[in-house]
Amino acid sequence: MNKKEINEKIFEEMMRTFIFMRHSMNTHHPRFEDGGLQRGQGKILKILAEKQEMPQRELVDILDIKPSSLSELLSKLEKKGYIKKEQNGRSFDICITKKGKDFVEKMTDETDDDLAEYFIGINEEEKQQLFEILQKLNRELEENLSKSGVHRHHGPFSHRFFHR
């Protein structure tokens, strides 16, 4: 294959992989609904499970959402018994409950199993190579976007995947 053909084939395979993974995520994540949660709420619980408690304002910054949107998500989590709010002066500290911790642990175990399935066809050395290639590709893409004045969106994946 010539340079143009290989670039096209790589891009096609990356898109196929993305589509397969999105489909798998959509079909393998009913556990959010099983716990009565929306996707954003699962992320909140995971963050709180790591920190135990944090000011509501810090969660707003981490999640990059409007304070009113976070308040709505937190109210629903509190009603389900996954978190509790504690008054701290004029603001609130958000704490995860045992029920919330148990839910995150179950969710994490199931996610670990799902992730293992994505890479079942490649060995550990190939996983490491793929990881390094993807990191290199993402660095270059981000740099090129930055040069053209486009800045990285701080959306649902930025906290977990781009800020390590």
pLDDT in tens, 33-74: 556 677 678 889 989 999 888 999 999 999 888 999 999 999
Domain boundary among 100, 118, 136: 118
- pLDDT-derived band at 159 (thresholds 50, 70, 90) equals very low
Cα–Cα distance measured from residue 12 to residue 16, given in angstroms and rounded to the nearest whole number: 6
Task: Report percent pLDDT > 90 for the chain.
Answer: 46
Q: Transcribe 66-93 into DSSP letters.
A: -HHHHHHHHHHHHHTTSEEEEEETTEEE
Mean pLDDT score across all residues of the chain: 82
pLDDT at 15 over 90: yes
Average pLDDT over residues 87-116: 85
Strand partners, 141: none
What is the signed CA dihedral for 39, 41, 46, 48, rounded to 10 degrees?
Answer: 170
Its domain, for residue 98, covers 3-118
* Pairing between β-strand 53-55 and β-strand 91-96 as defined by DSSP bridges: antiparallel
Please tell me what DSSP assigns to residue 52: S
User: Do 16 and 94 sit in the same domain of this protein?
Assistant: yes
Task: Report percent pLDDT > 70 for the chain.
Answer: 82
Q: List CB contacts of 42: < 8 A, sequence separation 6 or more.
A: 32, 35, 104, 107
User: Do 129 and 156 sit in the same domain of this protein?
Assistant: yes
Q: How far is CA 48 from CA 36, 43, 45, 91, in A?
A: 18, 9, 5, 17
Q: What is the CA radius of gyration of the chain?
A: 19
Please tell me what DSSP assigns to residue 36: T
pLDDT at 155 over 90: no
Tens-place pLDDT, residues 111-147: 777 777 788 889 999 999 999 999 999 899 888 888 8
pLDDT at 10 over 90: yes
- Tell me the whole-structure pTM to 2 decimals: 0.56
Q: Report how many domains make up the chain.
A: 2
Query: What is the model's pLDDT at position 29?
Result: 55
User: Do 101 and 128 sit in the same domain of this protein?
Assistant: no
Cα–Cα distance measured from residue 162 to residue 164, given in angstroms and rounded to the nearest whole number: 6
